[in-house]
Structure 1
C-alpha cells in the first residue's frame, strides 16, 4: 500500500528558508500542529503550524490568505483553537488540510505574500494542551523495559506469561497531564523501606519514563469494536511524553491493582502533534522476534504486518540545577529506536482498547509505555539505568544520580530519519522538578 504522497517529497522546499535547513525538526514535510497564542495579552487561543524557526498562525492565515474550495471551512476550527473539533472531522479532512498547508508553504506559492505576515516567533508564544483530554491510558509496550524491570523484582520470571499476548495497560489520570515547561512538584505518598511499617512523605525515588503519546482523532460508540483495518484511521498523531513515576510509592502500592498515586501526580506532553500522515515515509513492517507467538486474529492485519511499525528515535536528556548554573548543556541519559523497543503497534493498542466495546473519544491520550532499547545505556528510565538505584550514574562535573533531585530538568525528544526521506522531529517536552510541599 502506497502511504506517501506529494507532501512527503524530499525535493519539496519552503519559502520559509529556515525550514530548508538540514536536520531541522520542522521542515515542510512535517507540519505539526499546536494550540497557542501570543504570550503577551489575553488573545484567543488558536492553532499554529510549525515551519522551520517560525509558527504559522492559522487564525491570521484564515483571515489574510485565500484558500481553495472547502479548505476554509476545515481551517475554521483550527483558527478558533478547537483542535478537538478539527480532529473529529476525520482522516479525509486531516489529509486535505495537510495538502493545502503544504502547497501554501511551498517555494513558489502564490499565498506566500499573504502568509509571511502570519508567521510568529515561537519564543513569543504560550502553549496549551491541544484539547481537553477526556481519558488517558498508559500501555506497557516496551518489551526491554518490561524484561529489565521484571528482572529487578522477579529474577526467575521477569516477563509475565500474558505479555506476548495482551497489550498491557492501565487507566491513568487525565487531569494531571500537563504541557511542555510546566513544573513537576515532587509527590508525597506512602512508601515502605526496611522498617516494619510504611511512612508518608516526599518520594525519594522520583523517575522519568521515556514514552510517546498517541492522540485519538476519531472515537467509537460505546459497545462498538474497532477492528485492525480501521484502527489506525482513529489516530490523529504522536507527541513526546514523560510519564513521571515515584518508584518508592509505586513499589508499595502497586499490588494488587497496579500504580495509583505513584503516577497520577503528573504526565508531561509536548504541545506539538505530528500527524500520522507526516510519518508515512518512516512506516515499517511489524514483525515478532523469532520464537514469539503471533498476535491473535483481532490484533492482526495485512496492513499492520506491512507497515504498522514506525522507525523513530527517542531520547531522554538531563540538566541538573548545577549544570544550569554553570551553563553546561544537558546530557543524554538514554536513547532507543521504537522499532526495537515497542512490542505492539499503535493500531494494535486501539484495537485492543476497544475490543470489549470501550468507547474512545476525540482527544483521548494513549501512552506507549517506557521505550527502552536492548543494549546497556538504552534504558528509558533511571530505574533501569541505575540497576534499581544500586549503581549511580556519573554525570559531567562529578555529579551522580540514581533518581531525580529537585531542580533537575528532564527533556524527552523524538525524531525520524531514513534514507530517501527528509528528517522530521516531534519537538520535545521538558519538565523541572520542584520541591515537595
Structure 2
C-alpha cells in the first residue's frame, strides 16, 4: 500500500461523488446501488481508502495482464509525459513506431503495419471497415456467444444481449460457435462438435450469400461468453471455409491476447493465420487506453495510393505507446508470459479440477494460462445453470474473504494477472473452496 493514511472518509466521499455524478456502463443508475471503491493497487492486489485489501482475480476487466502499478510501465508513462504528452496522429513519433514494431514482432509472418485505436471496440470497428474496403463486400458474420465492443458495428457484431437494444449498424448476421458443454449440435465429443459447428457455419455462409460476405469475426477464445476454447481443428476449419468463399477471417485478440493464455497471442495455440488481428487490453494492461488492428501487407498495400477513410484524434497517443513499449519489454524480460503458462498448467488446472471433484455445483472447468471459467450448475445431470441469487451470494462471500472476482451469468471467471504467484493462486483456490462449501 501507499504511505497515505487509511481513512473511511475518503471511501464515503468516493461513493457520494460517484452516485451524484458518474453515469455507469451496462447498469441501472439507481435502485440503492453501492459502488465498489478502489484507491490503489500493486501486483495482484488492490485496496480501498480504508485499507481493506483484495486479491484481484478479475484483472479488472480481464485486461491487467502485467498487474497493478508495474514500476517500469508507470515510469515510462511519466517519462513520456515529461517529454511529449500528446501529438497529432499524422505526426511521426518515435515511441509510436517502437510500439508498433514490438506488436508486429509478435504477429504471424506478413503482418507489418498497425492501425492504433483507443481500445478494443474501435479496433474491431476498423477491422470491419478494412475488411469491407478490401473485399468490396458488406456483410460480417460473428457468433452469438461473443462480445466485440460497444461502438456502432462492434456492438452489432456482438452476439449477447447487449446487441439487441443497439442494432443500428447494417450488414451483420450471426451463427453458433462450438460449445461442447452446451452443444447446439447434439454433439458428445470435441470431434463431433467441431465437425457440426463447421457444417453449421458453412450453411450460414451459403444461406447469407458468400459473394456478399466480407469477413468472419471471431474471438480466438471467446472470453466474456465463458472462456470457450475452440475444439481442435475448428479455427483451421473456419480458415478453410473463408478461403473457399473468398471471405476474410478477423481474429479478435482483445481479451485473449498478450499473455492471457500463456502465449503472446491466443492464435499461437492454434494452427491458424487470420487476415486481420485486433488487440487492446493486455497490450499495455490498460494503463493508458490503447488498441489496434494488426494488418498484413496484402491489405495494407490497398492503401498505398488510396486514402484510408478512418482516423482517431488519439490514435497512437504517446502515453499509451510508452505504456505498450514498457509493458511488452517487461513481459519479455521478466518471463511474464511464461509465468502465465506455468501457473495455468501447474497450479490452476489441477487446483480447479480438484475443486470440481469436491463441489457438485461445478459443472465444468475450462481454460488455459490465466484464462479460466468455472461453470456452475444446479444439477450436473441436467446442467441447469444456477440462478442469479446464487451468483450474487458467491460474489458477496468472495469479496468478504478478500478476493475480487469476475462473475458472469452462472460462471466464475478465474482471470488473475499474468504476474500472479503460486502463493496467490493457492490463496484464491482456498477462498473459492471455502465459498463453494457454503452452497
Question: Under a length normalisation based on structure 1, what TM-score does the superposition of the two structures give?
Answer: 0.25
Q: Which structure shows the higher helix fraction?
A: 2
Decide which structure has greater strand share. 1
